[in-house]
């Protein structure tokens, strides 16, 4: 009788662990989605973070190249000389990038005009710098002569119509982002309630931490691959919506996501191992 009772208890324990496995996969997916959205909100959708990110030495070079490519386009529009000597300073390039970041990622509803941004960019690029070449000085003079149309020239040269579209899309993304985060939190609470109501705490903790370890694995894999995109390909050839420029800057942020995945894996492995016996 005692042997039968012990066998029955062991069978029940195995069933509890096996049944708890049903929560591992949905939790891993929800946790991956939730953590990705939270990190994206605090990084890519955060203008303060993005402005700090472009101040690093490597990103300053990328920003300068991108802004100067638009300045070179402006030179062509005003009938100036279009070549590699059309370079504004790194400080000016960063100022322009900061203006675009505030416009694009700042808290706003729907933008209907980009002329104010064009005016601000115009004010920055018209500032004289000690590093100015004769060609840059000539381009500034020609831009000033354009009078009222100069704002529209800047808007065209810096492709601000696309920037405005991206800014409005980011507003929609931010709203959807918050809604999905709320839904993920509700789903996590629901899963935890159901799991603790039908299984032992040990089985639930073991299964949930296993799910988080899978979340960490996919974090390391997915964002590790994204971080290596600039290594394996020339992102400058991706000119659509300045996506190549964004990938170059984002690669460092993706590396931070990988580190977060490693930390999550280590933290999850400790209780998983502790509840495995």
b/e 176-188 (16+ beta carbons within 10 angstroms → b): ebeeeeeebeebb
Residue 160, pLDDT above cutoff 90: yes
For position 98, what pLDDT does the model report? 93
For position 80, what pLDDT does the model report? 62
Residue 246 lies in a domain: yes
Claim to verify: residue 187 and residue 270 sit in the same structural domain = yes
Residue 13 lies in a domain: no
For position 3, what pLDDT does the model report? 45
Residue 43 lies in a domain: yes
pLDDT tens by residue, 108-128 = 888 999 999 999 999 998 888
Residue 8 lies in a domain: no
For position 18, what pLDDT does the model report? 46
Residue 6 CA from chain centroid, whole number:
54
Residue 6 lies in a domain: no
pLDDT tens by residue, 6-34 = 444 444 444 444 444 577 888 899 999 99
Q: Which range has the worst mean pLDDT, 62-76, 154-168, 214-228?
A: 62-76
Residue 271 lies in a domain: yes
Domain around 255: 22-49+176-277
Claim to verify: residue 118 and residue 152 sit in the same structural domain = yes
Query: Which of 101, 128, 158 is where one domain is finished?
Result: 158
Domain count, the chain: 2
For position 78, what pLDDT does the model report? 83
Closest CA to 125 of 74, 175, 197: 74
User: Would you say 78 and 153 are in contact if contact means Cβ atoms under 8 Å apart?
Assistant: yes
Claim to verify: residue 44 and residue 79 sit in the same structural domain = no
Please, what is the average pLDDT of the chain?
A: 84
Residue 2 lies in a domain: no
Query: Which of 127, 158, 189 is where one domain is finished?
Result: 158
């Amino acid at each position: 009788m005692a042997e039968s009772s012990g066998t029955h208890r062991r069978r029940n324990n195995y069933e509890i662990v096996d049944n708890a496995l049903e929560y591992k996969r949905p939790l891993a997916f929800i946790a991956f989605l939730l953590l990705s959205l939270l990190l994206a909100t605090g990084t890519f959708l955060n203008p303060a973070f993005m402005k700090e990110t472009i101040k690093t030495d490597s990103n300053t070079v990328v920003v300068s190249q991108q802004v100067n490519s638009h300045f070179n386009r402006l030179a062509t529009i005003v009938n100036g000389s279009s070549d590699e000597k059309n370079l504004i300073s790194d400080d000016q390039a960063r100022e322009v990038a900061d203006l675009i970041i505030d416009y694009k990622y700042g808290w706003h509803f729907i933008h209907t005009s980009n002329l104010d941004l064009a005016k601000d960019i115009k004010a920055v690029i018209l500032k004289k710098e000690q590093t100015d070449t004769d060609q840059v000085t000539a381009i500034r003079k020609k831009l000033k002569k354009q009078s009222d149309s100069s704002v529209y020239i800047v808007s065209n040269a810096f492709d601000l119509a696309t920037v405005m579209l991206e800014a409005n899309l980011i507003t929609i993304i931010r709203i959807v982002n918050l809604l999905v985060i709320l839904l993920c939190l509700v789903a996590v609470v629901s899963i935890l309630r159901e799991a603790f109501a039908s299984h032992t705490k040990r089985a639930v903790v073991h299964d949930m931490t296993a799910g988080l370890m899978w979340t960490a694995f996919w974090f390391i894999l997915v964002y590790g691959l994204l971080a290596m995109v600039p290594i394996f390909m020339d992102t400058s050839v991706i000119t659509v919506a300045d996506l190549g420029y964004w990938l170059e800057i984002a690669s460092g942020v993706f590396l931070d996501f990988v580190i977060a995945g490693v930390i999550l894996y280590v933290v999850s492995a400790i209780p998983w191992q502790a509840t495995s016996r």
